[in-house]
Structure 1
Amino acid sequence: MKIATFNIQNIFHRHSDLVEMEHEKKSEIWREEFETLLFRENCSAKDFIRMRELANLLGFHKAPFQEQLSMQNIDGNLHIKSPGKVMETKATYLTDWNGWTKLKSVPISKKAIKNKAKVIIDVNPDIILLQQVENRQSLIQFHDVFFNGNENSSYNEIMHIQGNDGIGLGMGILLKRGYHIKSIKSYSNERDTIGNMLFNSDFQQYKIKTPKNGTVVLLSCQLADENASIDLRKRQAEKVSEVYTNLMLKGYKNIIVVGTLNAPSYSDSISPIMESGILDIIKHNSFSVMSDSGTDASYFRMGAYRMGVNIMQKDYLLASPNLYKDLKKCGMNRKGMWPLKKPEWVTYDTVENEKDAASDHPLLWAEFKLEDSIQLYKKSA
């Protein structure tokens, strides 16, 4: 049984507020790189190409993101205009209205969408849990376009639950034939001591029936990010730990916690989870990921996944002790991530710049010594 988790950062469209926030975070990195290249004495042809890319990213050569949709009545026609597209629908002369409306989302590039699928297909998990999925229809369409035509990669059950954020950061799960969702529980209605929603995104629990009628419990969560308070993240982590501990006390032995915890493993804000007895797959001897290039391959950055994998750990796949002892192999796919700055790693050929990236997050996967749906059904056929 192979399980994976991936913060996909939306599939087809992303809320404009998130796009603007991410641009602000990355612009400082881009600025530093641009200045370094600008003052380099002997720039190569590759350096000049990169400087042009950075100039575009920093807005030197193009207009800023247009987040308004303009509408105008011209001779009885309602003209709706957005960047790169004009549509017309009939209106009466009585509706002589001109104005604008704020766009809520930004389309994700076709290359990025294909790279999102490529990351998942390369790992080919039996069960994959996704964070930051805008809606169920997008998840179904994504599956139908990229996975449905191949028996080995197709998923039989697809589920999406929207959380508390209101900007398309819901969670999804896809299961191959033989695995079945027995029950789902969302903790989106959990409240803190003063009555506010505890989870600004969500925390969800899935009980999964395996092909041989076993049960695996999956806990998927996204904790508060760096823009929220550390105290809020810790209170969220305490709830995740409480649910995990209660499941263990009830006799469930096969439990997995996945998701974006938004803090390195040593952080006090997620200590309730990390100290609950659950184990991180990146500590397993079989953990596999291509190392950073050059001297960074032997470097261990504070808060990174491990030596030679020098990206800050925010995403986790944690297994209960009973499952951890049955862990065959595990790893990370970050070939769909664009390295914003040193260190660098090997990416897909289709990831040529930032906008082609599948996500800013890696995909984590783990294979356990439990039944495999596709192989099991092929043997019994």
Structure 2
Amino acid sequence: MKVATFNIQNLFHRHTDMVELEYEIKSEIWKEEFESLFSKSQKTSLDYNRMRELANLLGFHQAPHTSYLSMKNIEGSLHVKSSLQVMETKASYLSNWNGWTRLKSVPITKKAIFNKAKVILEVDPDIVLLQQVENRESLIQFNKSFFKNNQSTYSEIMHLQGNDGLGLGMGILLKKGYHIKSVKSFSNEKDAKGRLLFNTDFQKYKIKTPQNKTLHLLCCQLAGESESDSLRRKQANKIAEVYSDLLSQGAENIIIAGTLNAPSYAASTSTILETGVMDIVKHDSFDVMLDSGNDSSYFRMGAYRMGVNIKQKDYLLVSPILFDKVEDSGLNRKAIWPLKKPEWETYDSVENEKDAASEHPLLWAEFKLEDSIRLYKKSA
């Protein structure tokens, strides 16, 4: 059984608020890189090419992103135009409305969508937990477009929207033989002051495996780095409480997966790790292509591990009993564009930032689950 978790950062379209926030964060990195290249006394052709890319990203040579859509009635046809596309649809002759409307989302590039699927297809998990999925319809279409005619067909799909209102819901895909027995969302959970505890969501799945084993999956996305540490701590406390309750009820196979938005040493999420849950990156089988050059032997504070010097925000945490059943594990970051050093090998289809599948890696682990006695009796 192979389980993966992936903060996919939406499938086909992303809310404009998220795009603008990410641009603000990245622009500081782009500015530093541009200034560094610009100050070099001798520049290579690669330096000039990169400066041109950065100039476009920083808006030196292009109109700034517009979040508005213009509409105009011309001779009975409604003409719709944005910075992204032009299309024409028929409108009633009685309708003579001209104006504009605010766009709530922008489309993700075809290359980026393809690379999102490529990451999942390469790992080929039996169960994949996805964070930041805009809606169920998109998840169904994503599955149909990339997995339906593949041996990696996912037969069960679930999507639950959270509290954010920005299309950052969570989804789960399961292959044939794996069945969702129950699901619970903690989106209505409130803190001591009566406010919603999870600004996105925290979800609990009960899965039946082909080996007739029960698997409990706790999928989460905690408050972002720009948000309060105290809020993240409260959210982490609830997750730790649910995990501990499952252990007290005799559950053995438990996974906590998702984006905690904090490094492993952070106090705000310490209550989760203090339950005794095990981080998959610490398993001997954990494998990932290392950073290039000297960075392959470097261990940055807050990174996943030595040679994997990207800041850890995403986790695949498993109960001690399940940790002993791990046969293989790893991390796929081939569709992440390195904004700055350290660098690592990427897919040929990732040529720039816009082609990146996500800013997050996919984490996975493969477990050996022996068939239960009850299953043998049933098949006898």
Partner of 1:362: 361
Aligned match of 2:242: 243
Question: For residues 98 and 319 of structure 2, what CA distance do their matches in structure 1 show?
Answer: 59
Give the 3-state SS of the residue equivalent to 2:31 in structure 1. helix
The C-alpha deviation readout for 1:121-144, integer Å capped at 9, x for no partner, is 000011000000001111111111
Displacement of 1:145: 0.8
Contact 2:76 2:90 in 1 (8 A): no
Q: Which position in structure 2 is the counterpart of 1:91?
A: 92
Rounded Cα–Cα distance in structure 2 between residues aligned with 1:278 and 1:288? 20
What SS class does the counterpart of residue 336 from structure 2 fall into? coil
Provide the rounded CA distance (Å) in 1 between the counterparts of 2:184 and 2:370: 25
8 A Cα contact 1:115 1:356, kept in partner:
yes
Whole-angstrom CA distance in 2 between matches of 1:96 and 1:209: 57
Between the aligned partners of 1:270 and 1:135, the Cα distance in structure 2 is 28
Partner residue, 1:192: 191
Structure 2 CA distance for partners of 1:137 and 1:294, relative to 1, 3 Å:
same
Q: Is the 8 A contact 1:130 1:173 kept in 2?
A: yes
Amino acid at match of 2:18: L
Q: How does 1:287-306 map to 2 (within 5 A)?
A: 287-306=286-305
Report the counterpart of residue 346 of structure 2 in structure 1: 347
Determine if the alignment matches structure 1 residue 221 to structure 2 residue 223: no
Contact 1:73 1:91 in 2 (8 A): no
Q: Give the equivalent residue in structure 1 for 2:211.
A: 212
Structure-2 residue corresponding to 1:183: 182
Structure 2: distance between partners of 1:216 and 1:59: 48
Opposite residue 187 of structure 2, the aligned amino acid is S
Q: Letter of the aligned partner of 1:284 in structure 2? A: H
Identity of aligned residues (%): 67
Correspondence for 2:320: 321
Shift of 1:371: 5.7
Specify the SS of the correspondent of 2:154.
Answer: coil
Q: Is the 8 A contact 1:162 1:171 kept in 2?
A: yes
In structure 2, what residue type is equivalent to 1:146?
A: F
Amino acid of the structure 1 residue aligned with 2:87: V
| 8 Å contact kept, 1:184–1:206 | yes
User: Counterpart of 1:115 in structure 2: which amino acid?
Assistant: N
| Runs of at least 5 residues in structure 1 that lack an aligned partner in the other structure | none
- TM-score under structure 2 length normalisation: 0.96
Would the aligned equivalents of 1:187 and 1:204 in 2 still touch at CA under 8 Å?
yes
SS at match of 1:156: strand
Match of 2:62? Answer: 62
Return closer, same or farther for 1:362/1:125 CA change in 2, 3 Å cut-off: same
Aligned to 1:277: 276
Q: 1:86 Cα deviation (Å)?
A: 2.9
Bigger shift: residues 72-81 or 327-336: 72-81
What TM-score do you get using the length of structure 1 for normalisation? 0.95
> Quick one: distance in 2 between partners of 1:2 and 1:76?
55
Matched, 1:40 2:40: yes
The alpha carbon displacement at 1:156 in A equals 1.1
Distance 2:91 2:163 in 1: 37
Partner of 1:138: 138
Q: Which amino acid aligns with 1:35?
A: E
- The residue identity in structure 2 corresponding to 1:32 is E
Separation of aligned partners in 1, 2:341 and 2:150: 37
Superposed counterparts of 1:49-198, under 5 Å: 49-83=49-83, 84-93=85-94, 95-151=95-151, 153-198=152-197
Tell me the secondary structure at the aligned position of residue 262 of structure 1. Answer: coil
Query: SS of the residue aligned with 1:231?
Result: helix
Amino acid across the alignment from 1:73: N
SS at 2:360 equivalent: coil
Mean Cα displacement is larger for which, 71-80 or 141-150? 71-80
- Provide the secondary structure at the position in 2 that maps to 1:212: coil
Distance 1:212 1:347 in 2: 36
Q: How many residues align?
A: 372
Q: Contact 1:210–1:371 at 8 Å: present in 2 too?
A: no
